[in-house]
Chain A
Amino acid sequence: MLVQALGQAMLLGMHIPDGFLSAPVALLWWVLTIAALAVAVQRLRGFDERRVPLMGVMAAFIFAAQMLNFPVLGGTSGHLLGGALAALLPGPWAGMLVMACVIALQALLFQDGGLLALGANVFNMGVATTLAGYGVGMPLIRAAGGRPWGLIVAGFVAAWLSVMLAAFLTSLQLVLSGLSAAVVFPAMLFVHAFIGVGEGLITVAALALVATTRPDLVPALAGSLDARALGRAMSRGAMLTVTFIGLAIAVGLALLSPLASADPDGLERVAEDHGFIERALDPAYNLLPDYTIPGLNGPLSTVLSGVIGLLIVFALAYGIMLLIRGRQESGQETTR
């Protein structure tokens, strides 16, 4: 019930409003964001300054693309966040600035995400998503040597990972600001494991369409793809490979998450929070009886609960996929 309500809230987005982040956390991420954007502006200066109109329109494109959605299950809908797509289409540095503009506009025009929290929001959804999307996506595309499955796997993994990374960073900031790690991490990563699958599918299809129709536009994809083969996107084998790679990365992330949050940042808050996290573990785990791991406490328990949660997510996703496929196949037989 609680996790569901949380899920509904998180589903609406990762835009942290003001009031949630403690001042040191918000300011720390402002510094990180300013540093990343300064590097991006430096990289594009002179070389790409003429392309400012293009990048501005691309920001408007990402914003509009986030409006597009499709029904998933039970009244929820899948839609795009766009970080990985922005990194793979206009390039990583341009994509970073594009995403920063999108998130800043959402905060300024629609109060979607706070002003003090803007640094954290831009970092989570703009900087981290584009760096991860490009850093993971490009090597995979290159490793595939231009074969179409490279684009499919790379697009999916990059998009899924960028969403999970953004969710992880958002959770980390909330936990550092005093929210309970035992609630925030499982809830955020659980919900975004699904959202990431939608992101991955949309990103792959969008990349495939652009690569097929205008491969000249996209430096990352130019000349490395066979347009005909891309028409048959998303075969069953490719999807399975993607699922297993995703699972492996997810488990890795879950293992890292509490360790990263245990990493002292020099913020005295952290120590204080850890005091309460350990004490808070008991009541919080009562809420999530499935995650109760008797005899364990502290980071190890969070790690295990994270891994278990992810395994459950994947089992659920796989089961639902089988169900849908079964229903579809039986439907086809009866109509034949």
Chain B
Amino acid sequence: MRFWRLLTTSLFLLPLLLMQSVGHSRQSPILVSAAISLRRPLMEIYQLYKQQSKERHIQFNFASSGALKMQIEHGGAVDIFAPASPQYLDLLEKKGLIHLKGKRPLAANRLLLISTLVGDRGKKIASMFKGRSVQEILLDKRVKRIVVGDPRTVPVGQYAHQVFKRLKLWPQLQDKIVFANNARQVVEYLRRNEVDLGLVYATDWQRLLSHLPYREISADLYTPIEYPIGVTARGKRRGGVDHFFNFLLSPASRQIFNRYGFADGV
């Protein structure tokens, strides 16, 4: 009986014990809200930053751009905002929450054509990557299935749609196209060799598909995929924010972004 009482009470006390190791520091850190797709390069940049300067404590907040925007709109104490697409910054700028004229391009992404290497057919398709045009590759009879994101719901699908339209191939490719719900699913289809070709972000290729051959798609076939960054109205008033902001735009940072498959922001 004693034992069970003891166990029950200790279960109750456990959270309080954990409280010690979880308590927050008193000084107010700089908070950077960033799209979750930027997590790895940003954390690495932060490590570099910590080595080079004794600047203040920086905290990151990673989520979907929509959620991040909503947090700032409702008074969240964010100093720097780096969404996955310019529209979020623009909307906040209109509301006066982002420092005007403070927007900068942080990074950019590219669209790549990926081929799986399954069997002879796969290898033959891949061999076309060196000599032929993207059009020819897509239309080739040996290509049976092409996966792209659903243009109705995800940006990566919308970019693919733009490419097909500019090449005037949309109607002809209807039979071959397979829609995936999001970027991750596109990657999955390619990884599992369920399809012959796919259109993905360069960063996704870098991370998960680097064993597969790729072919660049001309940048004028789709609107630029930009990752902008801005200082919030609140951030502008606080010390140290500009310093870190500029560091994020420095050549050293750009190098780190490149390593993760991001192109330079324009």
Does B associate with A?
Answer: no
